[in-house]
Amino acid sequence: MRCRQMPTNLLLSISVKYWQDFQDTLAKVMDANIYIFDVNGGSFSRFSRPVELCQQINKGSKICNEKCIRFYKSALHSLEDKDVLTCPNGIRLYAYRLGTYAQKIGFLVITSIKPNAQMSSEEENVFLTKAHSIYQTINEILKAILEKNLLGLRRLELNSIYEISRLLTSTVELDKVLDLITNSLIIIYKADLSFVGLREGDKIRIAQAKGEYGHLLIGNEWSMTQPLIEQVFSKLEPSSLSIEELMTLPGLTGLEVAHRNEIVIYPLWSALGAAGLLGIVFPAPLDDDGRRNLQIYANFAAVALANAKLIYRLEREAETDFMTGFFNKRALGYMLVQELEKLTRYNTPLAVIFLDIDDFKSYNDTFGHLAGDVVLQKTAEIIKKSIRLVDIAGRYGGEEFAIILPGTKGEGAVAVAERIRKSIELYPFPHRQVTASIGVAVAQKNDTADSLFARADQACYQAKKQGKNRVCWDQNQSSDLQ
């Protein structure tokens, strides 16, 4: 695979593609926007996250407006160490010189994704701390790569691992931890492939992988009793594998690894037991310093993964209805707020369905709570089979369900509601036929989550009032829905 390299005046040899992945991950973890310039003030990377004003002016993720280019070249040329700048369009920028006192590598510019005018002084202080942390991390990594390239030493590698480990153990979002682990290994160790498997009961599921063949690994599941996996978790130390041994794992068809590569799998142990595994394929064998540093990194990765998994599980339990596996009312409300924000920003349609099982109390009282539970669970299954992956279904409470349909107009929402109603009517529930009344409402300008749910609920009430087992829409929107 041929990759564009950093300009030679940066004295580095880094794949731009992999650097951008790493930079974007760092930006996501720190909730900031990052941009890197070479030593002459020319663009190297692109914006990690959208800056609407810059997108409008520069028509993309790279700086192309002549006024902007002149500003950056002039401002960065005179930058001694670090400074807070304001660009010609009023965006506040935190700029740092990258490299050492003696060797300039390039420049780092960090900005908030939130407009300056909307930040309080406290928020700005917090952001300044984040910006400095990003600078320390990127600078240590670039210095380590520079030292390795020029002198063949790994003396500074430990500093970069320290900075990444600090971010890892302070991050609780599982997806961010996974991205940070895999992207960091590609950049710091120039690994050909890195992957993280999460322990899920009696199996390991590959949750993230980076490198040319990373896509072949993601989603693979390996039993904890598979001989190679059993061998990996039979000890605390990492296992060095041959390509033949690696290929005994199921699902690796198409993976190409040269025999000269070094393949290592680390079991990730925490105080709670096996959290998962970390696999790395290196282009050449590591020296003793490299192995020691990587073991330190793996130890931090294990702690970070265990913490993130625990937080993720607690969050999921807090927002999930135990009976149906659907989101609960609180989670639904939070997600509807997010969808309404997207509607405001992108002006896309949004609909909500409110469903109430007819005469559920009578069914429950007559046939018992266990029979009532079956009705709730089967209704949830019918809803799940009737909606798209992007739709969001939840149990609103009791026998009430709500479904959020992003990007859906009234006609489409009514069609989905009718499909669900018909499926429930025809399903062979035990004891007797079950039906549902359904209301549909489409988001209007200035709608809140409460007002939208309330209008869908009111439409559902109308369906009940008109005889049950039918779909009604919000009366205020009849022209849109008909």
pLDDT digits (tens, 9 = 90+) for 98-152: 987 777 888 999 988 766 666 778 888 888 888 999 999 999 888 888 777 777 7
Picking from 407, 413, 416, the residue whose alpha carbon sits closest to that of residue 441 is 413
Mean pLDDT, all residues of the chain: 87
- Look at residue 8 and tell me whether its pLDDT is greater than 60: no
Which of the two residues, 296 and 257, has the higher pLDDT score?
A: 296
- The pLDDT assigned to 159 comes to 84
Block residue for tokens 């809140």: 448
pLDDT of 169 higher than 50: yes
- What's the whole-number mean pLDDT along residues 216-239? 93
| pLDDT of 2 over the 60 cut | no
Query: Is the four-CA dihedral 185, 186, 189, 191 of positive or negative sign?
Result: positive
The predicted pLDDT at position 64 comes to 82
Confidence of residue 482 (pLDDT cuts 50, 70, 90): very low
- Specify the pLDDT at position 317: 82
Q: Do residues 184 and 167 make contact, with C-beta atoms less than 8 angstroms apart?
A: no
Of 59-73, 230-244, 389-403, 467-481, least confident by mean pLDDT is: 467-481
Q: Which one of 150-154, 251-255, 274-278 scores highest in mean pLDDT?
A: 274-278
| Residue 44: predicted pLDDT | 80
Per-residue pLDDT reduced to its tens digit, 397-425: 999 999 999 999 999 999 999 999 999 99
| pLDDT level of residue 3 (50, 70, 90 thresholds) | very low
Q: Does residue 374 have a pLDDT over 60?
A: yes
Q: What is the pLDDT of residue 376?
A: 96
Q: How far apart are CA 111 and CA 35, in angstroms?
A: 9
Instruction: Choose among 127, 135, 43: nearest CA to 98.
Output: 135
What pLDDT, on the 0 to 100 scale, is given for residue 477?
Answer: 61
pLDDT at 219 over 70: yes
φ/ψ of 118, rounded to 5, equals -95, 5
pLDDT at 49: 79
pLDDT attached to residue 9 = 46
pLDDT at 153: 66
pLDDT on residue 5: 44
Measured CA distances, 316 to 96, 320, 329, 350, 399 (Å): 39, 6, 13, 25, 21
Q: Taking a C-beta distance cutoff of 8 angstroms, is the pair 117, 86 a contact?
A: no
Residues 387-396, mean pLDDT to the nearest whole number: 94
**CB within 8 A of 470, min separation 6: which ones?**
421, 437, 438, 463
Amino acid at the residue 302: A
Q: What is the pLDDT of residues 320-346, one digit of tens each?
A: 998 999 999 999 999 999 899 888 777
pLDDT of residue 6: 45
Residues in the chain: 482
Total-model pTM: 0.70
